[in-house]
Amino acid sequence: MPAPELRRVPVNGVELNVALAGSGPPVLLLHGFPHTWEVWTDVMADLALRHRVIAPDLRGFGASGRAATGYDAGTLADDAAALLAALDVPSASVVGIDAGTPPALLLALRRPGLVRRLVVMESLAGRLPGAEEFLAGGPPWWFGFHAVPGLAETVVEGQEAPYVDWFLRTGTLGEGVRPPLRDAFVDAYTGREALRCAFSYYRALPESAAQIAEATAAARLTVPTMAIGAHPVGAALERQLRPIADHLTGHVIENCGHIVPLHRPRQLLALLRPFLWAGTPAAHCHP
């Protein structure tokens, strides 16, 4: 596949850096921390054979605009909706990992007409019941560290490379990611402003959790949904979604780290291909 087209798209008061590839039924890919759109590199070419793939850097992340505010899941979901509108996409399948999961979930809950199919992975859905076992020892250490205003960027600034490396190694069960991608991620999270934006996502988690609680109290998750777990989240997200979802499939990929699309892209594609394609008109056509 040729390199994706990179486009800057103004949405919701911020300019997003967006990678675009392929044609066909649209698929929106939402990354997490400490990633950029490039976390999808190893699955985009395959998906682009059948789909129009849309992979933005979230606001404040990567090459997208460094917004002062708006790192809560609701605003990130509004960004995603505005991006689809700006690209003239009436509806899309939405795939989110880590920090991309809560906005993907909120988009499907609040705007089900926009979301054909939903895939969420390696994250929790706010404080919904079902994740008690995962949280038994407390949330991961960095959640608290990142949440203290101004602290993490002061400590990490100047040490971004080893800090990001720790997450990349841990998220691939010690294997790490190949140098060009590793360098791109380190680059994206270097400097106080880049760090402030990334950590702002964690500082907004209480607000995001309240938004998810409110949305699930008002509506069920009606779009076909697949929850994918690996290490460390496992089946916790599936357990959270099971009581609120009408059509939920759950999978845990064995021997797979948190950064699923880079660590086990083939296994991920084996799940994504049939699930995403089942929701397209072409899948129901007969020769």
pLDDT in tens, 199-250: 999 999 999 999 999 999 999 999 999 999 999 999 999 999 999 999 999 9
* Contact predicate 67/59, CB 8 Å: yes
Question: In this model, does residue 281 exceed pLDDT 70?
Answer: no
Dump the DSSP string for the chain.
Answer: -PPPEEEEEEETTEEEEEEEE--SSEEEEE--TT--GGGGHHHHHHHTTTSEEEEEPPTTSTTS---SS--SHHHHHHHHHHHHHHTT-S-EEEEEEGGGHHHHHHHHHH-GGGEEEEEEESS--TT-TT-TTTTTT-S-HHHHHHHSTTHHHHHHTT-HHHHHHHHHHHTTTT----HHHHHHHHHHT-SHHHHHHHHHHHHTHHHHHHHHHHHHHH--B-S-EEEEE-TTTTTHHHHHHTTTBSSEEEEE-TT--S-HHHHSHHHHHHHHHHHHHHTSGGGG---
Question: In this model, does residue 32 exceed pLDDT 50?
Answer: yes
Q: Which residue carries 């309240």 as its tokens?
A: 210
Question: In this model, does residue 285 exceed pLDDT 60?
Answer: no
* Contact predicate 213/105, CB 8 Å: no
Q: Which are the contacts of 62, defined by CB distance < 8 A and separation ≥ 6?
A: 17, 36, 37, 38, 188
- Per-residue confidence (pLDDT) for residue 280, from 0 to 100: 72
Looking at per-residue pLDDT, the higher value among 285 and 281 belongs to 281
